Amino acid sequence: MSSELAQGTARFRAEREADWLRLEKIVDRVERRSVRALSDDDLFALPLLYRATLSSLSVARATSLDRALLDYLEALSLRAYFIVYGTRTDLLRRIGQFFATDWPAAVRGLWRETLASLALLVSGMLAGYLLVASDPSWFAAIMGPDEAVVRGPTASTAALQRILVHTGNQDGLSVFASFLFTHNAQVSLLAFALGFAFGVPTALLIAMNGCIAGALMQVYVAHGIGGQLGGWLAIHGTTELFSMVLAGAAGFHIGRRVAFPGESSRLAAAAEAGRTAATVMVGVVVMLSVAALLEGFGRQLITDSFARYAIGGFALLVWLLFFYIPREARRG
């Protein structure tokens, strides 16, 4: 009786082994290259072999104690499962979909957090402005002592103005732009990630950035060249500050959903919030690279205040239209 049974399991394996090995070969090739590397025959055979292997696994689990065989079938089924059910659209299509629907939809979904983030930034600006207005020594505290020497309250009007219209040599500009881009992008990624600590550090980061802008503005307004500074900031600032607001909003969204998951479980709420916020963050990096181009090239080439305001205002309008114009929801 025992030997009959042994023959049974041996036959079970002998009858199916060829299918498993063929599936393994196909899976190997797909993992190493892509589904496109398969011949038509293999492509059609893949789902059939996958199901055959699943059924082998289920029979083996009920009848065999050969651990090596069970492990092999489990690992093979799992690898094939991800190929059969993990189909993904091609990259270009995905990028198109990101710009056409995913990104604006994610931004629209975060409108409450966006308003909160904006309010924080604006109150940070006000605080910075009022603090420096009441006591100029605040400037050094907010911006750091080195900055205070260059463009602090004690600097001359002429020196301050020179920073705004300085065109410099054309070569240093793009380095400056790429440095600013990587720096700003890293800071906003940090603002997003810190949202996980219930959004508190994110709020501090946003308010602090507002504070810096406010303090700078006060110095220039006090010297009577606030309008020029406005143009200097506006050309790229509308885009940059907007992306900062959105990064803060993404952080707050995570913090809010982790703290108050509502109907769903905390884990599910966190996962959902994380994915929406991540989509926004990819967009934030895109916006920051646009801002860096405006800052590094646009600002240095265009020194007229009016033109700077016009470009900044136009950029803001484009972003607002892009994000908030209602559009038909994508089906499927």
Partner 1 sequence: MAEQVAASRYVAREASLRRRLLTPEGLDLGVVLADAGQRASAFMIDAVFIILALIALTLFVIFGLFGVVGVSRSTNGLSALAIIWLIGWFVLRNGYFIGFELRGRAATPGKRISGLRVIARDGGRLTADAVIARNLMREIEVFLPLSFLSARAAEGSADRWLNLLGFAWAAVFLFFPLFNKDRLRVGDLLAGTWVIRARPQTLAADLGATSDGAPPAYRFTDAQLDIYGEFELQTLERVLRENHQEALDTVTAAIVQRIGWAEPVADPRAFLAAFYRAQRPQLERRMLFGRRKADKTVR
Window 54-73: residues binding partner 1 (CB under 8 A): 54, 57-58, 62-69, 71-72
Does residue 307 bind partner 1 (CB under 8 A)?
A: no
Does residue 148 bind partner 1 (CB under 8 A)?
A: no
- For residues 280 and 106, is the Cβ–Cβ distance under 8 A? yes
Does residue 88 bind partner 1 (CB under 8 A)?
A: yes
- For residues 193 and 251, is the Cβ–Cβ distance under 8 A? yes
C-alpha span between 71 and 250 (Å, rounded) = 42
DSSP assigned state of 152: S
What is the footprint of partner 1 within residues 184-213 (CB under 8 A)? 185-186, 189-190, 192-194, 196-197
For the bound state, the minimum distance from the C-beta of residue 124 to partner 1, rounded and expressed in Å, comes to 21
Does residue 119 bind partner 1 (CB under 8 A)?
A: no
Does residue 36 bind partner 1 (CB under 8 A)?
A: no
Q: Which two tokens stand for residue 31?
A: 């993992």
Q: What angle do CA 89, 100, 114 make, to 5 degrees?
A: 120
Does residue 286 bind partner 1 (CB under 8 A)?
A: no
Give the one residue of 15, 25, 39, 51 binding partner 1; rule: CB under 8 A.
Answer: 51
C-alpha span between 77 and 243 (Å, rounded) = 44
Does residue 2 bind partner 1 (CB under 8 A)?
A: yes
For the bound state, the minimum distance from the C-beta of residue 274 to partner 1, rounded and expressed in Å, comes to 3
Q: Which is nearer to partner 1, 83 or 249 (CB)?
A: 83
Q: Which residue carries 């506006």 as its tokens?
A: 234
- For residues 319 and 245, is the Cβ–Cβ distance under 8 A? no
- For residues 273 and 258, is the Cβ–Cβ distance under 8 A? yes
Q: Which stretch binds partner 1 (CB under 8 A): 25-33, 206-214, 227-235, 310-318?
A: 25-33
Give the one residue of 172, 226, 227, 313 binding partner 1; rule: CB under 8 A.
Answer: 172
What is the footprint of partner 1 within residues 222-261 (CB under 8 A)? 254
What is the footprint of partner 1 within residues 95-114 (CB under 8 A)? 102
Give the one residue of 40, 146, 171, 328 binding partner 1; rule: CB under 8 A.
Answer: 171
Does residue 31 bind partner 1 (CB under 8 A)?
A: yes
Among 5, 4, 45, residue whose Cα is nearest residue 25 = 45
C-alpha span between 256 and 202 (Å, rounded) = 12
Say how far residue 202 (Cα) sits from the centre of its chain. Answer: 15
For the bound state, the minimum distance from the C-beta of residue 217 to partner 1, rounded and expressed in Å, comes to 28
Binding residues for partner 1, total number by CB under 8 A? 78
Q: Which stretch binds partner 1 (CB under 8 A): 53-61, 128-136, 148-156, 323-331?
A: 53-61
Does residue 15 bind partner 1 (CB under 8 A)?
A: no
Does residue 275 bind partner 1 (CB under 8 A)?
A: yes
Does residue 288 bind partner 1 (CB under 8 A)?
A: no
Does residue 147 bind partner 1 (CB under 8 A)?
A: no
Q: What angle do CA 324, 332, 88 make, to 5 degrees?
A: 105
C-alpha span between 88 and 67 (Å, rounded) = 33
Q: Which amino acid is at 41?
A: D
Q: Is 215 exposed, middle or buried (0-12, 13-18, 19+ CB in 10 A)?
A: buried
